[in-house]
Structure 1
Amino acid sequence: MPEFHAYARDVIAFVEAHAHYAPYVAFLLAFCESLVIVSLVIPATFVLLGLSPLIAAGGVPLLPVWAATAAGAALGDSVSYWIGFRLKGSARQRWPLNRFAGGLARGERLFLRYGIWGVFFGRFSGPLRAIVPLIAGMFAMPPFQFQMVNITSAMLWALVILGPGAAAVKALGY
């Protein structure tokens, strides 16, 4: 856990010192948070939550950071979807996915039970965020349908992550 705290402090300190890089940092964090397997190594949601008040206090407009966060999340899920689409059922046997059988099973249950809504709400569940798009690809969810729900949920997720912190800073007059 200490490594995570150091990582979070370093990223937040970087954005505090270089606010003009905030959209790029937010894009990269959201992309990593939404990419299968990488999301387990780089827990970016908490860093994004920590960045939102800094962004508002540092004078960086919320809109570009929100758009970058949504785009990064949508792209990460798209890559996860295409990995699943390409590998199909063999994804379960491939390293490193074969080490996460429980997570894959939970993602599969969510997708099979709720379909498109499972993809949408999976975005808001940390452990399933990057797994559900992989499962959607494995089960050959139509690409257009996936992208519509992917982009919509990414836009809402980015707002939920960034909005409250930025609004609080604005309300406090910083």
Structure 2
Amino acid sequence: MDFETIRTTTLDFVREHQAWAPVITGIIAFCESLAVLSFLVPATVILLGIGALLGATDIPFLPVMIGAAIGAILGDWVSYEFGRYYKEGSKRIWPLSRYPAMVEKGEEFCRRWGAWGIFVGRFIGPARAVVPLIAGVFAVSRLHFQLANVSSAFVWAFVWLAPGAGVVQFWPGK
């Protein structure tokens, strides 16, 4: 199955089963945030499409945004714990073993930014896939990781869903 088929099928399902939109969005965000699955799921395009569906239908914005944030939090958390458990060995496991340059960039990013790298990394496509895992390998404190993880997930979910949903029109002065 190609990316376009996945995108179309997912958006059609959300359109037909609107009550499931928060759960589906959460699953997609989880896949986007999990180190291995993020390489295989066209989540960014799907999330933008779901945002547009929110603007075109009666699906409420807030539950879907919360679903996306929770999925992203859990995906990054699993990646972090995987890195913490396997340490350097995690870099020898597929698919990271096939992308050593990307892993090196993720390591440099973590060295440079520390816990802030988790927050910033969520908004940078290639970094999003490896930064939480590398943070676990480097044993960034769980508290600092989770503070950055949770706060960035809610901002990230809003940023990806709000424009298509037309939330901007409700801001004061608009």
- TM-score bracket for the superposition, by shorter chain length: over 0.9
Kept in 2: contact 1:77–1:133 (CA 8 A): yes
Q: Which 5+ residue runs of structure 1 have no aligned equivalent?
A: none
Q: What CA distance in whole angstroms lies between the structure 2 residues aligned with 1:123 and 1:149?
A: 10
Aligned residue type for 1:27: G
| Aligned-residue CA RMSD (Å) | 1.6
Aligned residue type for 2:76: D
Equivalence for 2:121 = 122
Kept in 2: contact 1:57–1:169 (CA 8 A): no
Q: TM-score, length-normalised on structure 2? A: 0.93
Which segment drifts farther, 41-50 or 95-104?
95-104
Matches within 5 A, 1:45-60: 45-60=44-59
Kept in 1: contact 2:54–2:60 (CA 8 A): yes
Q: Which 5+ residue runs of structure 2 have no aligned equivalent?
A: none
Equivalence for 1:43 = 42
Equivalence for 2:86 = 87
Runs ≥4 in structure 1, deviation > 4 angstroms?
168-171
Kept in 1: contact 2:77–2:132 (CA 8 A): yes
Inter-CA distance 64–95: structure 2 relative to 1 (3 Å threshold) = same
Equivalence for 2:2 = 3
Equivalence for 2:14 = 15
* Structure 1 residue 130: Cα displacement: 2.3
Aligned residue type for 2:44: T
Inter-CA distance 168–146: structure 2 relative to 1 (3 Å threshold) = closer
Kept in 1: contact 2:15–2:53 (CA 8 A): yes
CA deviations on 1:87-116 (whole Å, 9 max, x unpaired) are: 111112223321121111110011101112
* Identity rate, percent: 44
Q: What CA distance in whole angstroms lies between the structure 2 residues aligned with 1:144 and 1:118?
A: 14
Q: What CA distance in whole angstroms lies between the structure 1 residues aligned with 2:60 and 2:148?
A: 26
Q: What CA distance in whole angstroms lies between the structure 1 residues aligned with 2:149 and 2:25?
A: 18
Kept in 1: contact 2:110–2:135 (CA 8 A): yes
Kept in 2: contact 1:85–1:134 (CA 8 A): yes
* Structure 1 residue 37: Cα displacement: 1.2
Kept in 1: contact 2:48–2:161 (CA 8 A): yes
Aligned residue type for 1:42: V
Aligned residue type for 1:132: V
Equivalence for 1:24 = 23
* Structure 1 residue 169: Cα displacement: 9.3
SS at 2:111 equivalent: helix
